[in-house]
Structure 1
Amino acid sequence: MYLGEFDLLPGERLLWSGAPKRYPVFDESDKLFVPFMLFWLAFVGFFTFRASSGGAVLPLVIGLLFVSVGLYVAFGRLFIRWRRLTRTTYAVTDRRVIARCDGKEQTEYLSQIKPPSIKADVNGIGTITFGDVGGWAQLRQAQAKQAQSGKLTPMYHRPLMFIAIEEAERVRGILATAREDSVRKDAP
């Protein structure tokens, strides 16, 4: 995959760049969510079938709307996640971490992120995260960012992650060293 050029700041050095090696469709949040949505689809499908057998149009339309939403949430968003990962690239510089997808960049300064943590498999392919991911911790982070900036921001902000990259341990080492150097430079 062509990684393309990253827009580096003056004097910034590229330490690593890569892309997901695999494209995982499911993540941790899906363990409960997908079974719930399958139950939702079964219930709404039954309701829609029963409502349509009476000949009334409005319950059928409402039921089909709920079925459509259920299909998207259960399966459509998984396809969108997969498609997004196929077009994602990552970079580590001596100042920042960058994730780019479809021309949009998400970037964080190394001195402002939490230490990287890793979840890797035996083949060395893994995901690197910076701080808490998921659930209430994510909501608290979004609220804190909103309070700091004074601007209204989306409440669901997925933290920067390098998903399914090769040599994840080595990349985490590069990140940890670069982060320590960045924090040391920024210290008074």
Structure 2
Amino acid sequence: MGVDLLSGERILWQGSPVRRSVFLRQDPKWIRFSLKFDAVLLVFLTAVVGLLHLWLGPVDSWTVKFTAGMFAASVALHHAEPFVWRFLTLHRTTYYVTNHRVVSTPGRRARAVKLAEIDALSYDRNADGTGYVRLDHRVMPDGFGNGTVAELIHVPDVDEVVALLANLTGRTPAQTLPKPDSASAL
């Protein structure tokens, strides 16, 4: 077994991601927002550098190029990190729903959230019955730095998992996107 159970804990559901894609239907919205935010940040930094140039005089081009390169590298890593994390861990991930918590084991170290700490329950169901389950209100997707479970991706039979979690937590699940019909299925 890939999870250490607590005293009095039993597994109610166990599953692994059914697809190996690192992208979800929600990702384009998140990426679009992040790119807009970074564009505003770039305009702000350009204005600050322009004001510093007027106040302090010319700055050597090496410093400007280095600063611009570091900013670009930081933005690229910021956008790529969740997808790289999924790529490196999705093939070995197992999900568990127990009577006390939701556990994701993307390798040796398990990440868990207690059922009482789940502050939101939303899901997205694909035409084939698989889907995505969100357990909190985080803005950014799960990634390397997160120690708790915020999402379960590519869940087989997402309706069963959402019904189980709704029953255990007492929360009403919200569907994030309308149910796809057979004509619009991908």
Corresponding position of 1:130: 135
Alignment of 1:1-188 (within 5 A): 4-22=1-19, 23-25=21-23, 27=27, 28-34=29-35, 56-114=61-119, 116-134=121-139, 160-180=150-170
Q: Deviations over 1:36-67 (max 9, x none)?
A: 658989xx9xxxxxxxxxx9433333333233
- Partners of 2:64 and 2:119 in 1: how far apart? 50
Note the aligned Cα RMSD (angstroms).
3.7
- Partners of 1:79 and 1:177 in 2: how far apart? 33
Percent of aligned pairs with the same amino acid: 23
- Under a length normalisation based on structure 2, what TM-score does the superposition of the two structures give? 0.61
Aligned-partner residue type, residue 154 of structure 2: A
- Under a length normalisation based on structure 1, what TM-score does the superposition of the two structures give? 0.60
- Partners of 1:82 and 1:40 in 2: how far apart? 28
Q: Deviations over 1:130-165 (max 9, x none)?
A: 243428xxxxxxxxxxxxxxxxxx9x8876221221
Q: Is the 8 A contact 2:129 2:159 kept in 1?
A: yes
User: How many aligned residue pairs are there?
Assistant: 150
- Cα pair distance change 1:71/1:132, threshold 3 Å: closer
- Cα pair distance change 1:160/1:56, threshold 3 Å: closer
Which 5+ residue runs of structure 2 have no aligned equivalent? Answer: 46-59, 171-186
Aligned-partner residue type, residue 6 of structure 1: V
